[in-house]
Amino acid sequence: MAINTNLKPGPIGVFDSGYGGLTILSEIKELMPQYDYIYLGDNARAPYGNKSYDLICDFTLQAVKWFFAQGCQLVIIACNTASAKALRRLQQQYLPTIDPHKRLLGVIRPTAIAIASLSKNGHVAVLGTEATIKSKLYEEEMNNLHPHLKLTSEACPMWVPLVENLEYDKPGADYFVKQHLTKILEKDNKIDTIILGCTHYPLLLKKIKQYIPDNITVISQGKYIAESLKDYMNRHPEMDSICSKNGKRLYYTTDSAEKFKDIASAFLKETIEVEKIKLGKDDELV
């Protein structure tokens, strides 16, 4: 459906269960600084990665409704878990009923598209939350896009809590980081590219590099999501025209604003203002 260009321009929404989506936002705003962005972290209910399909869908729907109420025409689900579990359902069932002009974009397809150009020998690994890995969406996208690649995956359920609790650079993190990297290399010892399929994981990059051979490249998604969004805007001038461009950024969380402000600076390397909001519980999908 063509987008009605008489719609009021609004900021681009960026959503994650917590802080992880900030690794995506920082790349997006660097590449496209002219746009306005609203970030929401559902920190009060993170992590999403060990939650059920219905719960992840309900939480994501509540967040998307909130973004639309703020005037966003386009929302990036900057969370692999919500992209894997909720995006398709919301795009197909929810969006057409509420406002067919609005758009939701996820992070898995753009990452899967980028993978082919990154691996030299075609042996690729993806690390993610339990929900993302169990969804097999990376496999599905890769089979469609690059059937010649061998994809091996591994769920790392402790990694998001390590990041959310600011333990990512502490000695305690080493055990869990090493454990999953050892496992994935046992599954395929020819892997030359590891995709961090969770937006929290780039914070663990330094430790990850300690436990893999030098010839393996570790890929964070942010750069690819930003490039893909830029390409999307070029291909969809009707959407570009309803995304406001005053270089404004607003940050919201469902948990403590003070805590978010402190931790977010580690991700963004800048000081920000944060507001706490509540997400409704009465919007469940039927």
3/45 with CB nearer ligand DGL = 45
Least Cβ distance, residue 18 to ligand DGL (angstroms): 6
Contact (CB, 8 A) for 116 and 145: yes
Cα–Cα distance between 60 and 266 in angstroms, integer? Answer: 25
Residue of 57, 72, 79, 156 with catalytic role: 79
If one asks whether residue 244 binds ligand DGL (CB under 6 A), the answer comes out as no
Least Cβ distance, residue 201 to ligand DGL (angstroms): 8
Q: Is 79 one of the catalytic residues?
A: yes
Q: From the centroid of its chain, how far is CA 10?
A: 21
Contact (CB, 8 A) for 245 and 34: yes
Cα–Cα distance between 200 and 77 in angstroms, integer? Answer: 14
Query: Token match 């974009």: residue?
Result: 105
If one asks whether residue 85 binds ligand DGL (CB under 6 A), the answer comes out as no
Instruction: Enter the tokens of residue 283.
Output: 């919007």
Q: Which of residues 191-210 bind ligand DGL (CB under 6 A)?
A: 198-200
Element (H, E) at 31: helix 22-31
If one asks whether residue 133 binds ligand DGL (CB under 6 A), the answer comes out as no
Q: What is the dihedral of CA 22, 130, 192, 122, to 10 degrees?
A: -110
Least Cβ distance, residue 23 to ligand DGL (angstroms): 8
**Interface with ligand DGL (CB under 6 A), residue from 111, 129, 153, 228:** 129
129/152 with CB nearer ligand DGL = 129
86/124 with CB nearer ligand DGL = 86
If one asks whether residue 155 binds ligand DGL (CB under 6 A), the answer comes out as no
3/159 with CB nearer ligand DGL = 159
DSSP letters, 96-109, are HHH-TT-EEE-SHH
Cα–Cα distance between 120 and 95 in angstroms, integer? Answer: 39
Question: Among the candidate windows 29-37, 44-52, 183-191, 251-259, which touches ligand DGL by CB under 6 A?
Answer: 44-52
Please report, for residues 108, 120, 196, the alpha-carbon distance to residue 148 in angstroms, rounded to integers and kept in the order given. Answer: 18, 12, 20
**Which residues lie near ligand DGL (CB under 6 A)?**
16-18, 20, 46-49, 79-81, 129, 132, 160, 198-200
Which of the residues are catalytic? 79, 198
